[in-house]
Structure formats: C-alpha cells, structure tokens
Structure 1
C-alpha cells in the first residue's frame, strides 16, 4: 500500500511537550485545574493582542457559552453562514434560537452584501432592536465564520452590526494567526474584531491540544461570565452553591500543556503553510480546469486549508470523481462540508443568497496541507493531478 499523505495532521514536537505532560501527570493536575491553563490563555491573548482569554474544552463549547453571554435567547434569530461546519450553527439551537442562513462570496465566507440585503429588505428596527418582518422574531446576533483561514469582510459586517444593533460572534476556529494587513482593522487578528471570538485546537487545526478551544473578547466582564459558566457556574467555590445553570466546558490542564508549547511554534507553521501553498499554486495554475482558491490580499492568512476548484468540463472529471481517485492513491482529500441549510434539522429554515455556496460545494476539494507536509509529498499530489487532467 502506498504511503499515506494526510490532509491535516498535528505537528507535535515530542521533546518540547514531554516535560509539560510529565508535570501534569506527576502533579495529578490533568483535569480542569493546573498552571498550564492560565499559561496557555495568557499566550493566546498576547499573540492575538487582547488582554485576556478563557480556555474551553472545544470550539463548540466556546461558541455556545459566547452566544449565551451575548444574550441570545429562545425565540431569537441568529444570522449564520450555510457554508461552514455544522458546529458553528448547532449552538444557536442549544439556546433555543433559530438560525437564518446567509450565502457566501468568493472567499467562502459570509457575503456581506447578501447580509446587508437581508437586513435592509427583510428586517425593521423597533425600539433599538432588529426584527424579521416575515417571522416577527428578534434578530440579535451574527455568527461570522472565517472559513479555511480566509477572512470575511469585517469592516462592512461591523458597520451593519452597529446600524442594526447586532452582536457579532467571530468563529475563528480555522483562522488563528490570520490578521488584517490594511484597512480600518489593520493589525487586528481574526476573532478580535467582533464582540467575541472563538478558536479551536482540534487535531486538524493549525495548532492542537487534541481538543479544546479558546474564547477571546475585549470585554473583561464577558470573559468573567464565560469562565463562571464553563466551570458549572459555582457561585460559592467552597460550598458548591450554584445559582445558575452552568456547563462542564473548562479546558483541561493536559490539553493546555500541549497548547502552551504549540502556540510558540505557530508562526513557523504558518511560514511552512504559505511556502507549500505557493508550491501548489505555481503547479496547479498550469493544469487546465483546476484553480487553487486565493486568500484575500488585505490579510495575512494562516493558510489553514488549500481549496481546489474543479471545473468538470475543462478538467474532464468532477470533484467527486477526483476525490475518489486521490483516496485510491492513499491521499487524504475531502469536500466542503454539506451545506447546513440542506441538513435534515435545518431544511425548513430561512435561506438567503446561497447560490454561490451551492456552486462551491459542488466544485471544491481540500488537498493535503499539514504544516509538516514535505515538498516531495506535494509533488506526488501535483503529478497525479496533472496525469488525470
């Protein structure tokens, strides 16, 4: 069997993490207490330029608690992208709210023009709150997902949010390290522009703790509430008094022990991912029918995933046929997620401007992009793409 070329795998230096893990095990602090949690939170906060951060057990846990603290309630509507992983949307339903699906632009992120059209044509402002004219429901928040390390048009989205009195939650679970190079938010990292942002350290992310996530915000009271809720809402730590419903969502010390060494390597990982992206780009642009999706010019992306658009007519096969052939060669490849508005729990929900999302869903494949991907492995992938085209 041919050696596997994986899609996106952890890049872990055992020598650098073994002492941290050894300390966790020997001290007994492997769960939701221990010094590495605070250390990792401080490092993430410093890296993205905020004062504080709160570690949680997953990006999903971070999104859920963030929505709660942002005031999303049962009966509300939340504007979400359809082109994303379902974990960005399910927390809306955890709160008893209803997602309204918005389509994407060529970045694969939420299209700010479609968002604006929905707000102006389908909503009205009453008593400083926005309501959906069709359903009568309050529209209180937007979840913006920075897909594959690219970045949505945050200037326009934040202007709309201010005009329509909406909270903005940035799902930056794929975009740790991405920041604006120019414009109003020059120097601002993905996740730090809206009311709150969430990162993920799942095994396929650019840095990993095996699982785990992080919530950031410029609002200290917001973070205090996140920390309170994610530790079972203990009003009295000593006597276990709980005046609210909380969650067992706190990051584990053993996760943070991995993360606190990983964050130190992040910029090196991004350098490698940029180099490998450019190697792919130079080769793929010579193959008729294949295009490597670009990242925005106004950002320094983290280049988390590399997305190839397959033109069936020009290339001679569609993305599903190409996917099958790559998998047969032991090259791990995946399509874009199934669009969320087409998933069974959401098929009757309101949808706006999803034509481009459907088009990209039908044409895009993600190819191997690990931060430890070797140049010779890229050549193997590229030669097969040339051979079949």
Structure 2
C-alpha cells in the first residue's frame, strides 16, 4: 500500500469519525420514525390503508413540485407502472442507458417491451443527448408519426432518463429530442430525490417519473417507491391499477382490469413521513461531505471526485471517484478500500453485458465501457454529527 492511499484511507475514516467498517450508505433514524411507526402499530393501521400513505404522497408532491405522487412498494414497481401508464406496449423499444441498475431494464421487460441501450455522458454519467440523436439518425426512421428502428421494424416509444447517483441529465436537450421524434420522456429518478435541473426538481419534467425509497437511498421507507406526474388522469389510473384495479365500494370486490398489488403499506409510509422531514438536513450534510472529500482526493494524482454538472444541483446520493485507468488499477483500489473497512463498489456492470440483455439493440457504448473500469463509489452516508437527531 503506497503512502498516498494510506492518507486517503485515514482521511475517509476521519471524515466519518469511524475506525470501524464504513458502509456505502446507511439510513439515519431518530425518535420521529419511532413515534410514527408506533402510532401505526397502536392504531392497527399498518397495511395498505392509513393516513400516512396519503400524507407521504402529499409531502412528496409538494417537495418535488408535481401535482401528484402515488406511493408503491418499490422503485421498480414505480417505474413499471410509469411505463405502463405512458402507453408502453409489448415489443416497443425504449431508449435507456446501459449504465444503470438492472431494475431500469427489468421494468421495461415486465411489459414485454425491449430495452434499447444508448451511451452516457462523462459530464453527467447519464444519457448523452447528442449521442442519442446521432444514434436515432443512423438507425431509425419515422412513419405515421412514430419512430421506427430500421433494423428490427419495432416502434421506439420512449426514453428513460436515469439520474445517476443523483446527478441530473441534460433534460432540455432530451426533451427537445423527445418532442421532435414523438417520444415519451420518463424519468428514472430513483436516486435523485432532492436534485434539481436549472432550479426545477428532477422527476417533474417527464410525463411520468419514478422514485425509490430502498434502505440505501437518501430517504428510506424500508422498501418503497413512488410515481410522480403532473397529469391528474394518469395519477388516478396509477393509483387504481396499483391497488388491484378494485372499483371503490363499501363491500363489493369488483375489479375492472388486471391490476397490481403494489400499494405502499401505511407503516412504511410512516417512516417516509419522518424521513422527508429531515431531507433538507441530509442534503446539507451531503454537500459538506463533498467538500471534505474534495480536499482529501485533491492530493492524489489520477483520481477525481465526481461533482454535479453546471446546470444541476445534485443530492449527491452516492459519492463517486473517477480514476485514471492508466495510473491506477480499478480492482486494486476496490480491494484495498474494502480490506481497510471502507465499503467501496464499482459502478453497475453495464446491462448490455448481462445475460438477459446481451442481445438487445444498442448504440456505440464507448463511454459506458470506459466508466465501468473507472468509477468507484465510496461511503456516502450523511455525516451524522451534522444532522439534528
């Protein structure tokens, strides 16, 4: 182990005030979560009906600036329903980054649609609008106001933009492309609650968007997700089909289509209500963590802490370092950090390399293939001493 990395390891542990194992991201709870969950238990409203579900949905809508939020069991379910209510059909192709968690593509596959992988930008780690447009011009044609993949003959229906680690993609450029080619924009905002693009919250630009509240997200409900939209009709439909498409009635069980049992339980929403009350404090702490990481990584050549693009304000959900692969070995750094009790992980294996998706259509993925060898995530939990507990 060289002296430079010894100092980096010491610096990371000092920042987090820990000599023990440092997880990548852990939740922070206090008496407020206990109070709300206890209320659920004592009243008996712990399942899919209760005041906390409605309260959490209202808080999410207010925070993100959208008209409606519909709480569901997890982020994957949120994205699946977002795609469904956006009229994604069987055999439609959906432009999506290959550099994302597999849930992004799985949600497409659940509807028997087809992921079509597009390269990402080094500036955002998300979909590159310029590469997307070039790829469309090379591989697609328009017919009857639809975009058609010339090779497969399938309709290309939508673009799913994922805001990687909380950093916004260039939404203006993507919206322009979607408008010109009659594509629906759907935001996978699973990682970007508390992130903004030019002053407007991510997840409020697409026709529909999806959030995740998994245990490692910036706020958590234990497990959970939400659908965001400014379309009241689509929100009503999302709520209907995520509650088994049951027609409201005092006692009758009548269902008008095949629905999904995806409603978030009240006890999970209670945790979410307590968490969102602390979200602004988490965000302040996250930015403090960025400043401290910038200081320690500025001392080592060939390693850069990834920071927000100039058009966005990131929640900095997960901190990422980008290594110069000519100067540092990716695997060696991962082994070293983990051996020293600092949880570090590579970015996801690109989806086009995975068995279920290796035969999907794709563009040139030069940046995606580079970043898989250059990105390392490091501990990103909000600094506990800087969050009121």
The question of a shared fold, defined as TM-score above 0.5 by the shorter chain, is answered with yes
Q: Secondary structure at the match of 1:276?
A: helix
Partner of 1:184: none
For the residues of structure 1 that align with 2:184 and 2:176, how far apart are their CA atoms?
11
Q: Could you tell me which of 8, 21, 25 is aligned with 1:4?
A: 21
The SS at the match of 1:68 is helix
Tell me whether 1:291 sits opposite 2:304 in the alignment.
yes
Cα displacement string for residues 18-61 of structure 1 (whole angstroms, at most 9, x for unaligned residues): 12111111111111110000001001100111122100000100
Q: Which residue of 261, 264, 267 corresponds with 1:254? A: 267
Q: Would the aligned equivalents of 1:11 and 1:372 in 2 still touch at CA under 8 Å?
A: no
1:113 alignment partner in structure 2: 130
8 Å CA contact 2:142, 2:148 repeated in 1: yes
Structure 2 counterpart of 1:222: 234
The Cα of 1:374 is off from its aligned counterpart by: 6.2
> Aligned with 1:89: secondary structure?
helix
Pairwise CA RMSD: 1.4
2:371 match: 360
* Match status 1:325 vs 2:343: no
- Would the alpha carbon gap of residues 4 and 374 (structure 1) be closer, same or farther in structure 2, given more than 3 Å must change? farther
How many angstroms apart in 2 are the aligned matches of 1:365 and 1:134?
36
Normalising by the residue count of structure 2, what TM-score does the alignment of the two structures yield? 0.92
Q: Report SS of the residue matched to 2:185.
A: strand
Is 1:141 the counterpart of 2:158? The answer is yes
2:67–2:231: 8 Å Cα contact kept in structure 1? Answer: no
SS at match of 1:37: helix
Picking from 80, 88, 98, the partner of 2:96 is 80
Q: Alignment partner for residue 342 of structure 1, among 320, 340, 353?
A: 353
Once residues 48 and 325 of structure 1 are traced to their aligned partners in structure 2, the CA distance between those partners, rounded to angstroms, is 39
Relative to structure 2, which stretch is displaced further, 244-253 or 304-313? Answer: 304-313
Contact conserved, 1:331 with 1:368, CA < 8 A, in 2? yes
The 3-state SS of whatever aligns with 2:161 is strand
Name the count of aligned residue pairs.
367
Residue of structure 2 aligned with 1:21, choices 37, 47, 50: 37
Quick one: distance in 1 between partners of 2:243 and 2:325?
51
Distance 1:68 1:156 in 2: 24
* 1:172 alignment counterpart: 189
Corresponding residue for 1:266? 279
Question: 5+ unaligned residues in a row in structure 2: which ranges?
Answer: 1-17
Q: Secondary structure at the match of 1:245?
A: coil
Measure the CA separation in 1 of the matches of 2:289 and 2:355.
Answer: 37
340-349 vs 122-131, which moves further: 122-131
- The TM-score, its normalising length taken from structure 1, stands at 0.92
| CA–CA distance in structure 2, aligned partners of residues 312 and 52 of structure 1 | 44
Q: 1:378 is matched with which residue?
A: none
Give 1:335 shift.
0.6
The answer to whether the Cα contact below 8 Å between 2:135 and 2:363 also exists between their aligned partners in 1 is: yes
Q: Which structure 1 residue ranges, 5 or more long, are not aligned?
A: 182-186, 376-389
Aligned mates of 1:313, 1:361 — CA distance in 2: 14
Question: Secondary structure, in 3 states, of the residue corresponding to 1:131?
Answer: strand
